[in-house]
Amino acid sequence: MTGYFSDIPKIQYEGPESDNEFAFRHYNPDEVVMGKRMEDHLRFAVAYWHSFAWPGGDPFGGQTLERPWFGETMEHARAKADAAFDLFEILGAPFFCFHDLDVRPEGESFAKSCANLDAIVDIFGEKMEATGMKLLWGTANMFTHRRWMSGAATNPDPDVFAYAGATLKSCLDATHKLGGANYVMWGGREGYETLLNTDLTREAEQAGRMLLSVVDYKHKIGFDGPILIEPKPQEPSKHQYDYDVATVYGFLKRFGLENEVKVNIEQGHAILAGHSFEHELALAASLGIFGSIDMNRNDYQSGWDTDQFPNNVPEMALAFYEVLKVGGYTTGGTNFDAKIRRQSLDPEDLVLGHVGGMDACARGLKAAAAMLEDGGLESMRDARYAGWEGPEAQKMLSGEYGLEEMAHYVETTGLDPQPKSGRQERLENWVNKFV
């Protein structure tokens, strides 16, 4: 341990009655839920950017957080890695995630930046081997530097496209080398500020081409984790192309990539797009593209991405219900793309933000498992659609019956279907038995 978190012990499970704020009250890694250890269910990951690279700024204020590792040298980068692995150990989270820019100083040239990244990757490799930490996913930051201001893959300047491709290669290589389970793409600048200077058709073709190139390269190097796109509707851009799960699905279908690429769903992004979190999860599952989760919460009254640690257990339960129903994560996991508030200055705050989030997820998971094991919701749902098992219904669904046959059926039987209660309150009460 390097000392930054020196007074804080490794967080242990102490059970719900514990008064120790530096203990888990619900997350018990080895506890078995639905036949699997909680650690293997939840696959928690710590996000390097928010926890180690963010200075606490917002649009109206600058740095509030003071970290000894803030600085633009390799020495700072190494100190940052030391502190990060200290936190990982304190939390007992099995995974982490990073962008290139989080972990290495920008070099004077692309090659220098790559060399910096390589050096850090080596350090990460050693630390991972020493600690057992794993990489949930790597990604490229193609939104912070001014070169990306008008997009990366969707930039009007093909040189930026080339630079993006080179960057993606370097980050895929790093992720592959570290045994990453997935590779994520969030297109913070893949969108526009004004339609007036934008050619939607060209930019979509550029984006499709880049994604095809990424998939090609992934196969070439033998990286077997999925590529994940992370939808977000807007911010920083006025409009972002990967608006939500449904939009990403249409894009993947357009370029024939729906079996190659999945989605990394973030609660805050779902909210900003006008959806509930569980909607986005259920939709991705239904479309066969569910990959992983960026677990945070958005303030419901704020119109921007607040990236807070999750803490509303009933909401967690509904989210994990969708995850469990689709069979749980395969390569994905629960990444805390969440940041402590800029007023949370102390090392303890960084630890406790994660502890609270992990406990909230654990409670949500257990409640979700209990609901699924009870089966009440699923049996009610099956009953609601049971009519579709009938022969007439099957013919309509298969297309054997078209509009004319339906009309004939309605007319000859004098059909006058009566609505049946949707029983929403009843189902909500049922859920409240478990959360």
Task: Select from 58, 75, 127, 176 the one that contacts its own copies (CB under 8 A).
Answer: 58
Shortest distance, CB of residue 378 to its own copies, whole angstroms? 10
User: Closer to its own copies at the Cβ: 5 or 401?
Assistant: 401
By CB under 8 A, the count of residues binding its own copies is 158
User: Closer to its own copies at the Cβ: 37 or 426?
Assistant: 426
* Residue 212 binding its own copies, by CB under 8 A: yes
Q: Which of residues 221-250 bind its own copies (CB under 8 A)?
A: 233-236, 238-239, 243-244, 246-247, 249-250
Tokens found for residue 291: 């990959």
User: Closer to its own copies at the Cβ: 40 or 392?
Assistant: 392
Total number of residues shown for the chain: 435
Task: Select from 91, 185, 360, 367 the one that contacts its own copies (CB under 8 A).
Answer: 360
Shortest distance, CB of residue 394 to its own copies, whole angstroms? 9
Nearest residue to 350 via CA among 66, 147, 151, 18: 66
End-to-end CA distance of the chain: 37
Shortest distance, CB of residue 132 to its own copies, whole angstroms? 26
Question: Residues 26, 50, 99, 176: which is the catalytic one?
Answer: 99
User: Closer to its own copies at the Cβ: 51 or 334?
Assistant: 51
Tokens found for residue 274: 């006008």
Shortest distance, CB of residue 332 to its own copies, whole angstroms? 19
Long-range contacts of the stretch 82-85 (C-beta < 8 A, 24+): 82/2, 83/2, 83/4, 83/5, 83/52, 84/46, 84/48, 84/51, 84/52, 85/127, 85/131, 85/133
For the annotated binding site, the residues are 230, 266, 269, 294, 305, 307, 337
Shortest distance, CB of residue 382 to its own copies, whole angstroms? 9
Q: Quick one: residue 168, left, alpha or beta (phi over 0 = left, psi -120 to 50 = alpha)?
A: alpha
Q: Which of residues 112-151 bind its own copies (CB under 8 A)?
A: 143-150
User: Closer to its own copies at the Cβ: 57 or 132?
Assistant: 57
Shortest distance, CB of residue 129 to its own copies, whole angstroms? 27
**Residue 102 known to be catalytic:** yes
Tell me which H or E stretch contains 350: helix 347-374
Question: Residues 102, 242, 244, 359: which is the catalytic one?
Answer: 102
Please, are residues 137 and 175 in contact by the beta-carbon 8 Å criterion? yes
In the shown chain, the binding pattern of residues 294 to 313 toward its own copies, with x for contact by CB under 8 A and - for none, equals: -----xxxxxxx---x-xxx
* Residue 219 binding its own copies, by CB under 8 A: no
Contacts with 193 (C-beta within 8 Å, 6 or more apart), sequence order: 237, 238
User: Closer to its own copies at the Cβ: 85 or 143?
Assistant: 143
Tokens found for residue 219: 């196969």
Q: Which of residues 67-106 bind its own copies (CB under 8 A)?
A: none
Q: Which of residues 170-209 bind its own copies (CB under 8 A)?
A: 170, 172, 188-189, 193-202, 204-206, 209
**Residue 100 known to be catalytic:** no
Q: What angle do CA 361, 290, 376 make, to 5 degrees?
A: 60
- Alpha-carbon distance of 140 to 63, in angstroms, equals 23
Whole-Å CA distances, 402 to 10, 244, 391, 392: 64, 33, 14, 11
Task: Select from 268, 333, 353, 364 the one that contacts its own copies (CB under 8 A).
Answer: 353
The amino acid present at 296, given as its one-letter code, is N
- As a three-state string, the secondary structure of 97-119 is EEEHHHHCCCCCCHHHHHHHHHH
Q: Which of residues 365-394 bind its own copies (CB under 8 A)?
A: 377, 380-381, 384-385, 387-388, 390, 392-393
* Residue 286 binding its own copies, by CB under 8 A: yes
Long-range contacts of the stretch 191-194 (C-beta < 8 A, 24+): 191/151, 191/154, 191/234, 191/237, 191/238, 191/239, 191/240, 191/241, 192/237, 192/238, 192/239, 193/237, 193/238, 194/238
Shortest distance, CB of residue 388 to its own copies, whole angstroms? 5
User: Closer to its own copies at the Cβ: 212 or 370?
Assistant: 212
> Which residues are catalytic, by number?
99, 102
